[in-house]
Amino acid sequence: MKVNGVFSKISERNWKILLILMVCVFSVIVYISMSVVYWREVDESIVKSQLSTKDILVKLQSDDFSHNTIYQVKESLDNTTDCKGNFLFNWQSSFIERIKSKINKCTLESDRLSRQKEAVYRLVHQMDKESSLSTILAEATNKLHNVKNTEYYKCKQIWREVIESTNKIPGSGITNSIILKSQKLITAYDKLEKYDNEQNFKLYNSAMDEVAQIYSEIVGLQAQAIKEYDEKVSDLIKSYKV
């Protein structure tokens, strides 16, 4: 009875303090448990994002990459995760250096992944343009193969269609250059037709050389753009830390 009386006396005097201590201990246990799970997920998320984005970069460089897979790549990018989130008990991080360093690491890594993702997005959009341009030029080439050199109107119409289709692609250096060179080709065909009608074979041959030269420059522009694209992807892959 005396012992029970002591406990009764203690509980009467200190029940509030004991309750607070119990809540604190429980909170610490919950905090540690949730932190361990949370930071493990953060680490896994970082690695998953790194691997996912690198896989996308490798896919962008593959030989079988085509216009049809561009949207799959965009979807893959949208599905990559980063480690930014609602940090639990973030106000306590200033008291726990390990948690602070984790948050800093996560923030820096998230920012780096974000920059990488933006770079890949730019490459995807660039490839989207180049794929569209390649299709346009391939169709033009096929049509030209079925047209005689003397069918000037048809030749000029093909390059007018190239200009019209290229104008629908968001502006870039290569699209603008192709439009300008297509316009020059049309002018060259005008000369070709004029000299043919005049039977001025010397100037006709000169105009024919001009047509061939401009067409070669257009093909060269496309090849150069693809080369630059491949170099950018290679540089990104080399710089990507996993």
Q: pLDDT (tens digit, 9 = 90+) per residue, 102-137? A: 666 666 666 766 776 677 777 767 767 777 777 888
* 161/182 same-domain check: yes
- The percent of the chain in helix, strand and coil, each rounded to the nearest 5, is 85, 0, 15
Q: End of a domain among 123, 150, 179?
A: 123
- The model's pLDDT over 195-217, given as tens digits with 9 standing for 90+, comes to 999 889 899 899 899 999 998 99
pTM over 0.75: no
* 97/168 same-domain check: no
| Tally of domains within the chain | 2
* 109/135 same-domain check: no
* 26/69 same-domain check: yes
* 90/140 same-domain check: no
d(CA 116, CA 107): 14
* 8/119 same-domain check: yes
Dihedral (C-alpha) 224, 227, 233, 236: value to the nearest 10 degrees? Answer: -80
Q: End of a domain among 123, 154, 187?
A: 123
- The model's pLDDT over 129-187, given as tens digits with 9 standing for 90+, comes to 777 777 888 888 889 888 887 888 999 999 999 999 888 887 666 788 889 999 999 99
Looking at residue 54, its pLDDT comes to: 65
* 105/140 same-domain check: no
- The model's pLDDT over 20-47, given as tens digits with 9 standing for 90+, comes to 777 778 777 776 666 666 666 666 666 6
Looking at residue 84, its pLDDT comes to: 47
Domain range for 180 is 127-239
* 44/112 same-domain check: yes
* 170/102 same-domain check: no
* 16/60 same-domain check: yes
* 41/14 same-domain check: yes
Are 211 and 144 a contacting pair, CB within 8 Å?
Answer: no
Largest CA distance in the chain: 131
Looking at residue 69, its pLDDT comes to: 54
Taking alpha carbons only, the member of 176, 84, 170 closest to residue 124 is: 170
* 131/234 same-domain check: yes
Going 193 to 199 to 201 to 203, the CA torsion angle's sign is: negative
